[in-house]
Amino acid sequence: MAAVDLGASSGRVMAGTVGPSTLALEEVRRFPNGGVRAGPALYWDVLGLYRETLAGIREAGPLDGVGIDSWAVDYGLLDERGALLGNPVHYRDTRTEGVPAQVGAKVSARELYDVTGLQQLPFNTLYQLVAEGDRLDAADTLLLIPDLLTYWLTGEIGAERTNASTTQLYDVRARTWAVDLATRVGIPPRLLPPLRDPGTVVGPARELSGLPVVAVGSHDTASAVAAVPAEPGTNFAYISSGTWSLAGLELTSPELSDAALAANFTNEGGVDGTIRFLRNVMGLWVLSETLRTWSTSDLPGLLAAAAASRGLAAVVDIDAPEFLAPGDMPARIVAACRATGQRPPEGRAAVVRCIVDSLALAHRRAIREAASLSGRAVDVVHIVGGGARNELLCRLTADACGVPVLAGPVEAAALGNVLVQARALGEDLPDLAAMRALVRETHEVRRYEPSGAGDWTAAEARLAGG
């Protein structure tokens, strides 16, 4: 099977093989992705992604199936003929500024949360659609990015559930589109296509000799969490660590309390009807933007220097809105340190240390809050995704959380993608436990014990300028 896994900074096509004791991935094609600023807007190059996807699938050679996952919330609009209306806009575009407040005047945050269970992020699909204004009049259908590529491959229209759950237009309890809510905020319900479950065979890809296209957990985080190699019966939390850190717990039903709303926790839909109760932590984005600002690609060198620098010398609230948009992160970090009465880091190693310390601190906050909000214990934190490779981040996260971190696999999203495909195509993987057992059997994890180093409680207090 081919797993197409599109991340905010790169996309890849992996060839996956699944059998009773086999789960192997081979990278066939990797290509850069990112925002394209053109005129007043920040876009995705969605046609380039489609071209690379097709090329990668062709290169992967004889296949039984293909599935696509990507980042969430972003979409293309189609007209009645099925033609794309305009280029999909990047969620880091500023067009939604002020929109959440405008929507809040019509539907309270409490009510929105009650229906959708979603955290308030300025780029939720709901807010992006409201920002479109009159342009929606010309639109007939909304397709999230993986559904758009699936449509181009198969001609079939639909919305895969895990990703639909990130739109803030999905009723997390009824598991249907939140049609009343959409209508109240001025989004025509005709835009919302029929829902499909992960594991549905969508149809043959016309340009690929009829290759079956399978709807997987098309939200990359849903696929990544499906491949977390947790032992059955353990109290585990996960951090899907890449551009974002998605940090939280897997639940069987949504947690919609006032406290969860106040803590801005989300209830996204996972594979097999699970709930991903998590918060978006700003993630390695801040570090990658920092490297871009410095025009360097020497991440290993900078991380080694950061590891040798003094820990917790300065920390920032990495989740603050000023770190969301592209730009000069080192300058923003200096400003944030000054604003909280801390001496800003001097030199590149100290800046990188401040970012990684701050990210570990944000992991601690998110994991602890997830545990207390859901009334569950956390005995181990699994880090999957690209960040599992970052030893400093894993070590500091273990220290900050005070529990062991198990790091890996790096390619969790692609693994979750092929596991759901394999099941749809007849492999005996009855449930998530079986999928996770296969990941454990076939992939190494690295264990980091908490060392007791660092006063993380005091560091947290400094964020508030205390």
- State the catalytic residues: 220
Least distance from C-beta 131 to ligand LFR, angstroms? 16
From the list 15-23, 59-67, 240-248, 317-325, the region that binds ligand LFR by CB under 6 A is 240-248
Single residue of 236, 244, 323, 456 touching ligand LFR by CB under 6 A: 244
Least distance from C-beta 336 to ligand LFR, angstroms? 22
From the list 28-36, 230-238, 242-250, 435-443, the region that binds ligand LFR by CB under 6 A is 242-250
Nearer residue to ligand LFR within complex by CB, 211 or 281: 281
> What SS3 string covers the chain?
CEEEEECCCEEEEEEEEEECCEEEEEEEEEEECCCEEECCEEECCHHHHHHHHHHHHHHCCCCCCEEEEECCCCEEEECCCCCECCCCECCCCHHHCCHHHHHHCCCCHHHHHHHHCCCCCCCCHHHHHHHHHHHHHHCCEEEEHHHHHHHHHHCCCCEEHHHHCCCCCEECCCCEECHHHHHHCCCCHHHCCCEECCCEEEEEEHHHCCEEEEECCCEHHHHHHHCCCCCCCCCEEEEEECCCEEEEEEECCCCCCHHHHHCCCEEEECHHHCEEEEEEECCCHHHHHHHHHCCCCCHHHHHHHHHCCCCCCCCCCCCCHHHCCCCCHHHHHHHHHHHCCCCCCCCHHHHHHHHHHHHHHHHHHHHHHHHHHHCCCCCEEEEECHHHHCHHHHHHHHHHHCCCEEECCCCHHHHHHHHHHHHHCCCCCCCHHHHHHHHHHHCCCEEECCCCCCCHHHHHHHHCCC
Size of the site for ligand LFR (CB under 6 A): 14
Task: Report if residue 238 touches ligand LFR, rule: CB under 6 A.
Answer: no
Write out the two tokens for 331. Answer: 């300058």
Least distance from C-beta 89 to ligand LFR, angstroms? 12
Least distance from C-beta 281 to ligand LFR, angstroms? 10
Single residue of 221, 288, 290, 358 touching ligand LFR by CB under 6 A: 221
Q: Which of residues 277-296 bind ligand LFR (CB under 6 A)?
A: 280
Least distance from C-beta 314 to ligand LFR, angstroms? 27
Least distance from C-beta 346 to ligand LFR, angstroms? 32
Query: What is the spatial distance between Cα 357 and Cα 41, in angstroms, rounded to a whole number?
Result: 33
Task: Report if residue 91 touches ligand LFR, rule: CB under 6 A.
Answer: yes
From the list 15-23, 219-227, 253-261, 305-313, the region that binds ligand LFR by CB under 6 A is 219-227
Task: Report if residue 220 touches ligand LFR, rule: CB under 6 A.
Answer: yes
Nearer residue to ligand LFR within complex by CB, 118 or 334: 118
Task: Report if residue 72 touches ligand LFR, rule: CB under 6 A.
Answer: yes
From the list 69-77, 334-342, 354-362, 420-428, the region that binds ligand LFR by CB under 6 A is 69-77
From the list 76-84, 216-224, 309-317, 401-409, the region that binds ligand LFR by CB under 6 A is 216-224
Nearer residue to ligand LFR within complex by CB, 140 or 250: 250
Nearer residue to ligand LFR within complex by CB, 211 or 222: 222
Nearer residue to ligand LFR within complex by CB, 8 or 373: 8
Task: Report if residue 71 touches ligand LFR, rule: CB under 6 A.
Answer: yes
b/e burial code for range 248-281 (CB count within 10 A of at least 16 → b): bbbbeebbbeeebbebbbbbbbbbbebbbbbbbb
Least distance from C-beta 119 to ligand LFR, angstroms? 9
Cis (ω within 30 of 0) for the bond into 404? Answer: no
Nearer residue to ligand LFR within complex by CB, 276 or 348: 276
Single residue of 129, 246, 351, 398 touching ligand LFR by CB under 6 A: 246
Nearer residue to ligand LFR within complex by CB, 285 or 456: 285
Write out the two tokens for 88. Answer: 């999909």
Least distance from C-beta 155 to ligand LFR, angstroms? 26
Nearer residue to ligand LFR within complex by CB, 72 or 230: 72
Task: Report if residue 73 touches ligand LFR, rule: CB under 6 A.
Answer: yes
Query: What is the spatial distance between Cα 57 and Cα 72, in angstroms, rounded to a whole number?
Result: 22
Q: Residues interacting with ligand LFR, by CB under 6 A?
A: 7-8, 71-73, 91, 219-221, 242-244, 246, 280
